[in-house]
Structure formats: structure tokens, C-alpha cells
Structure 1
Amino acid sequence: MRLATAEINLTALTHNLKKVRDFASNSKIMAVLKANAYGHGLVQIAQSLNEADAFAVARVDEALALRAGGLVKPIVLLEGFFDKTDLPILLANNFQTIVHNETQLEDIEQCDLGGQLTVWLKIDTGMHRLGIHPSQFINFYQRLSNNPNVNADIKLMTHFACADDLLNTMTQSQIAEFDACIKNMSEEVCLANSAGIVGWQQSHGDWVRPGLMIYGVSPMLEKTGNDHDLKPVMCLKTRLIAIKKIKAGESAGYGANWLTSKDTYIGIAAIGYGDGYPRHANTGTPVMINGRKVPLVGRVSMDMITVDLGDVLQDKVADEVILWGPELPVEIIAKHADTIPYELLCDITPRVDYKYVE
């Protein structure tokens, strides 16, 4: 009997990539696969994204894992490289690198690669995380253009800070800053993350880089994937392993911080923070059992959660429990747990069984 299982629907994945095409029909797609494809399985997800034009990851080891898995599409390192000794690895494996600081630029200038790297020059238009200041752009661009280690086809990029909020004017300001910086240049550009793709059509450049939305989750505030015709790729599920009847005034779980106000049945499900289910999920967080939502009660344990099944028993041991999935959006669970969907998806631990289905 399968207990904690992440069921990954590859048909939903393909559907979501097609939706990206619908949103940004004139852009090439760089599918973001960092953090184990947002917890969905790096290589398995990449192998199913045949229609993507390129992949993006955060670290060199993620890129190497894709190559080892037989993936030959272009791979972009979103954080660039971290040491000049990485540069021969990038060249040998045809990895494309972002350049976002002076140290990286100097490392490229000072090495003798015997070949050319494809470089994305990242401009900080207000996120203030990675990227060069707009005033540095001309200097960086000219030095890269004159460097024999760099392919002449330099690409340009920025990243949005508030694109998930359509009422925030910062995205418009960032687009304007980027456009002013690269005025009269013909290089390929990439601005839009998932939120930019969904909410800001004017940011659809030569490339878009969807992350969260290809996994069926909305990148926008107070929305779910269903609002954009996206289909959840992950369904996290487990089983009931015990059912108990408790009386009014009795508690369940560590700390005895939940008391039932009436006689009821509680179910014990085999999942907890040891599997990646959030310990900070609040009492009342919904789970799905036999087609109905029932509330989480008491504290999340390492291996188990407790749910209130109600005063009329409808369930039995071994019944399936869905923590999030098509019927129960992960966005809803994240809100109950005072976090974001990204964290829930990325926190799935190795002891969860992955099952890939069409």
C-alpha cells in the first residue's frame, strides 16, 4: 500500500506548456526547472517538456544532472557560475550563463577557454538581487562583445519584483527602465517570469521563462491555476492509518492545543513534516477524503496529521487522503499554512514516493 505519494501528471504538464504558448505566442520558452523542477523531479519533468525551447536551472549540478539524463536542449544557469574553474565545464556541456556582476565578467576576461560561451547579461531594474546597475550596461556589454571567450550573440535579461500584483506599478517601471537601458539594441531579451507571462503582455520579449505556471499553479496573488486554465501537475496523497472516536472536550496531538466541542471521529493520515507537509499548517486546513473536504486538527507531527472526520463515520482505514491536487489547489493549502505554493512544492522530502502518470 502506497502511503505518502506525489503523483505527477505529465499530461497536465504538457497542457500547461501549451497554455504558456497561448499567453506568449511570439516568444520562445525557457522552462524553469530549478529546485528539482519545483519538487516535481528534475530529469523526469525535463524529458516531458519536449516543446520547450530551452531549460533554466539555478546551479551547475542541476544542469549536469540534465545532461546526464540525456537532455540536449540549451540550458541557462540563472545564477551564472560561482568560480572561474566552472567555466570549462560550462563550455564543455554547452551551458549558457548569466553574467550579473563584475567578478564574473573579470573571470571570463582572464581565462583562455578555447571556445565561446553564450552569455545572458542581467540588468537590475529594481529587484535589487542579481544584476548590474543600468549605468554599468554599456561598459559590460562592450567588454563582453570584445571578449573572444564570448559568443557574439549576447542576450539580455531582467527580473520582476512585483509582477504577481497587477495593482503594483513597479512592473511597469521595471519594463520602462529595461527598455531605456537597451534602447536601439537588437539583442534577444527575456523579462517575463510566470507572473509576467500571465499579467503583463508588454513584457513578453523574445523569450519568456515560466516556472510555477508550468506546474499548474497560479503566479498571481489571490488566484489559483484554474483561473488561468492551468492544471495541477502534482497530487500529494497518502492513506488513513487509524480512526478513533473521541468525546467532547478531548484533545488530539502534541500540546493538546485542539479540543473537540462534540463527540467526533478523528482520522490519522500517514504524512507529516518529515514528508514535506508544512508543520505550520493551521487547524482547519482542508484535506480531501472520499470526495469531501475535512479539516486538519491539532499540530502536524513528523509522520502523521490528524483530521476531523465528523460525528458520522463515513471513512475507513486505508482510504485515500489528498493533501493537494486538482480538487484541492496547493494555493489554498499555502494560504492556510501562511506560506506560498513554491515552498510547499519544493519541500517534498525524499521519502515521498513519486509516481509519474499520463
Structure 2
Amino acid sequence: MRPARALIDLNALRHNYRLAREISGTKALAVVKANAYGHGAVRCAQALAEDVNGFAVACIEEALELREAGIDQPILLLEGFFEAQELALIEQHQLWCVVHSMWQLEALERANISLPLTIWLKLDSGMHRVGLHPEEYAAAYQRLASCPNVNNIVLMSHFARADELSCTGVADQAAVFAQARKEINVEVSMGNSPAILGWPDLHSDWVRPGIMLYGASPFEQAHEMAAKLQPVMTLESKIISVRELPVGEPIGYGARFITERPTRVGVVAMGYADGYPRHAPTGTPVMIDGKMSRLIGRVSMDMLTVDLTDLPDAGLGSHVELWGKQVLASDVAAHAETIPYQLFCNLRRVPLLYLEG
């Protein structure tokens, strides 16, 4: 079988969740949307089930997948419902639901519900994506508080620039949130991964760790707390062919790399159809049999090429780590001018192998 695969370290996943709760000192929803950022939502949720305070997903389809797999912990729908008809399923499966628009609030008021719901009321404090305007927030809360279809309310917002540690955006958004809820005394949730790690003094009764669960730092620069994260996914494959080329020979599509010295080229069973970024340039790090090397030439659909010139013992069958515990996904992402979120979420075709140790 093709040797490309992704190893998922479930103990590292648990470590990262516990770290989020330790730093924040509060309850934490494990964000497992987008198939747990490519790591497999069901298996990751099952691994966290004994520790977790709850889960968060983007939509009801993702929540139902977890319920069907036996996950009975609270599950929050981060985008709420898209049609009022979904409220029947939300009630049936006792899902928690974000309300971020007035039409959702109005649909909730009109709904015929026997079991009242837990609602997370979202404020647009400056992200300007979804959320109620500050001037309508308190009134919306009062309507929910008096609605018989609601039995619990959590106030929430989302940071746009918490990954920029020198930015004033977090303080600015926190101030907007504080003003909008100044006379409302219920639980609040503000902390996403960068806020948990970079702004630990920010008050939040609930935090929502996402990318940090999977062991990747949300920051571009080194960070003391982010350094405690353990990578969960190791994307690996093997060398399937070796070429010996003289000076001046092109490699791969577009001849983007020309050998400048006699070069041993290793061909790896991994490409952009697996989710490895096509635009990763020559020089992107890879680990071959535990020794650092580099990508050379353009990434193809099913294969990529690496430099074996300074690794005389490497060859056919050599182990290649594309990212993981030795080659950080954030380093690969930086070379490819993207973010680790996208690397993980783009993963496809490769089988996931779950490890407990």
C-alpha cells in the first residue's frame, strides 16, 4: 500500500486540552469543527470525552455525527442554525446553540419547543463577521432571558487579532464586550486559542481551544506557553525512488529547481492531492530518517522531491516526516505562506492512524 499516512497522537491531544484548561482555570469547549481540523472528529471527541466540558462544531451536521457516535457531552453549534426547521433537531439532541443574528432570535421565540435550550449570545465586538451589534446586545439578552424556549444563556464574542501579541485589538474588543454586557451577570466566553495562550488574564468563564488542541501555535513568533503544546499529527511517507543527477539538470514540473551540484534526489509518495501545499517552495523542511533535509522542485499531485545529497545513508524506503513532532507544521506553513490551520484542514486521501502512546 502507498506509504503516505497521518499518525494522530491522542495522548498529545489530551495534553493540549488539559493545558488549555490549566492556563485558563476555567471550563473549556474542545473545538472539533472541520473534522477536528483534519484529525478526525469522532476519534478525537472519543479520546477527550472523559476530560472535556463540551465540544464545539460549526454546524448541525458535525454535531449529529458526534451524537451518532455516542458522544453525549454538550455540543455547541458555533454558527447556530441556518433555518428555523433545525430547531427540532437541536431540541431532540439537546445541542447548545449560538445566536448571532436577530432573525435567529426571532425564530427561537416563535419555535414550539418542549425542552428549553442553552443559548450562547454572540456579540460583534470588532471582528465584523457575525454577531449582534453592541447597541442591540442587552435588549437581545433580555428577550432571550424572558423566552420560555431558553433555559441558560452564555455571552460570547470572538477575537480578530489575538494572534498578534503586540496589537491593541484584544483590549479594544474586550472593552466593547464589557460595555455591552455591563449590567448582565451571566457566564461569558471570549478565549480562543491565541487568547488562552497570549492573554491569560482575560476573564472568560468558558474558553474555546481550537488550533492549540492539535499542537500548533497560533503565533508567528516563539511563545513560552505555546512551546508547551505537543504536536498531534505526524504526516509521513517514504522515499519511493532515487535519482542521481549532474549539475544543471531540472527537477519536476516547470523546471523550478536546477541542480547546482551533483544531486541525489529522493521522490516521496506525497503530493497536493494528499493536502501537502503545492506552493511550498524549495527549502521547505522535511525530516528523512531523523535528519533534516529540504524540499526541492515543485510539489506534484502525488509526489514531491527532496534533497538526499548530504544524506548518503538515505534511499529507497527511507522514512520521511513532512510535518509532526520534528518538523513543526507552523514551520512548513511559514515556508508555504499559509497557516497550520489550512495544512491540517486540507488533509485528504491519506489514512489516519490513531496512537494512544
Contact 2:57-2:63 at 8 Å conserved across structures = yes
Q: CA deviation at 1:318?
A: 1.2
For 1:29 and 1:85, how far apart are their aligned partners in 2? 29
1:53 aligned partner, one-letter code? N
Q: Once structures 1 and 2 are overlaid, which stretch shifts more, 93-102 or 311-320?
A: 311-320
1:184 aligned partner, one-letter code? E
For 2:42 and 2:285, how far apart are their aligned partners in 1? 31
Percent identity, please: 47
For 1:235 and 1:70, how far apart are their aligned partners in 2? 27
Q: CA deviation at 1:202?
A: 2.8
TM-score, normalised to structure 1, is 0.96
For 1:112 and 1:227, how far apart are their aligned partners in 2? 46
Structure 2 residue 122 is the aligned partner of structure 1 residue 122: yes
Q: Deviations over 1:2-57 (max 9, x none)?
A: 511100001111111121122112x1011100000011000000011121101000
Contact 1:263-1:311 at 8 Å conserved across structures = no
Contact 1:213-1:225 at 8 Å conserved across structures = no
Contact 1:251-1:257 at 8 Å conserved across structures = yes
Task: State the partner residue of 1:77.
Answer: 77
Q: Deviations over 1:310-353 (max 9, x none)?
A: 1563212111110001111000000000100000000001x201
1:54 aligned partner, one-letter code? G
Distance change >3 Å, CA 137–CA 197, structure 1 → 2: same
Q: Look up the SS of the partner of 2:160 in the other structure.
A: coil
For 2:300 and 2:84, how far apart are their aligned partners in 1? 44
Which residues of 2 match residues 112-261 of structure 1 at below 5 A?
112-151=112-151, 153-223=152-222, 227-261=226-260
Contact 1:225-1:231 at 8 Å conserved across structures = no
Q: Look up the SS of the partner of 1:130 in the other structure.
A: coil
Distance change >3 Å, CA 311–CA 46, structure 1 → 2: closer
Contact 1:196-1:204 at 8 Å conserved across structures = no
For 1:307 and 1:130, how far apart are their aligned partners in 2? 43
2:170 aligned partner, one-letter code? T
For 1:185 and 1:228, how far apart are their aligned partners in 2? 37
2:323 aligned partner, one-letter code? W
Task: State the partner residue of 2:351.
Answer: 353
2:234 aligned partner, one-letter code? C
Contact 1:240-1:318 at 8 Å conserved across structures = yes
For 1:139 and 1:251, how far apart are their aligned partners in 2? 66
Which residues of 2 match residues 326-341 of structure 1 at below 5 A?
326-341=325-340
For 2:19 and 2:209, how far apart are their aligned partners in 1? 11
Q: Once structures 1 and 2 are overlaid, which stretch shifts more, 192-201 or 313-322?
A: 313-322
Distance change >3 Å, CA 165–CA 312, structure 1 → 2: closer
Q: Which runs of 5+ in 2 are unaligned?
A: none
Contact 2:197-2:225 at 8 Å conserved across structures = no
Task: State the partner residue of 2:106.
Answer: 106
Contact 2:197-2:226 at 8 Å conserved across structures = no
Contact 1:3-1:238 at 8 Å conserved across structures = yes
Task: State the partner residue of 1:96.
Answer: 96
For 1:239 and 1:22, how far apart are their aligned partners in 2? 38
TM-score, normalised to structure 2, is 0.97
For 2:138 and 2:188, how far apart are their aligned partners in 1? 16
For 2:291 and 2:311, how far apart are their aligned partners in 1? 13
Distance change >3 Å, CA 331–CA 311, structure 1 → 2: closer
Q: Look up the SS of the partner of 1:104 in the other structure.
A: helix
For 1:224 and 1:300, how far apart are their aligned partners in 2? 31
Contact 2:37-2:344 at 8 Å conserved across structures = yes
For 2:308 and 2:221, how far apart are their aligned partners in 1? 28
1:262 aligned partner, one-letter code? R
Contact 2:74-2:95 at 8 Å conserved across structures = yes
Task: State the partner residue of 2:23.
Answer: 23
Q: Which runs of 5+ in 1 are unaligned?
A: none
For 2:14 and 2:103, how far apart are their aligned partners in 1? 39
Contact 2:16-2:212 at 8 Å conserved across structures = yes
Distance change >3 Å, CA 43–CA 311, structure 1 → 2: closer
Contact 2:2-2:269 at 8 Å conserved across structures = no
For 1:12 and 1:352, how far apart are their aligned partners in 2? 20
For 1:195 and 1:142, how far apart are their aligned partners in 2? 31
For 1:357 and 1:262, how far apart are their aligned partners in 2? 41
For 1:312 and 1:288, how far apart are their aligned partners in 2? 11
For 1:196 and 1:139, how far apart are their aligned partners in 2? 28
Contact 1:123-1:137 at 8 Å conserved across structures = yes
For 1:323 and 1:104, how far apart are their aligned partners in 2? 43
2:267 aligned partner, one-letter code? I
Distance change >3 Å, CA 324–CA 311, structure 1 → 2: closer
For 2:18 and 2:214, how far apart are their aligned partners in 1? 12
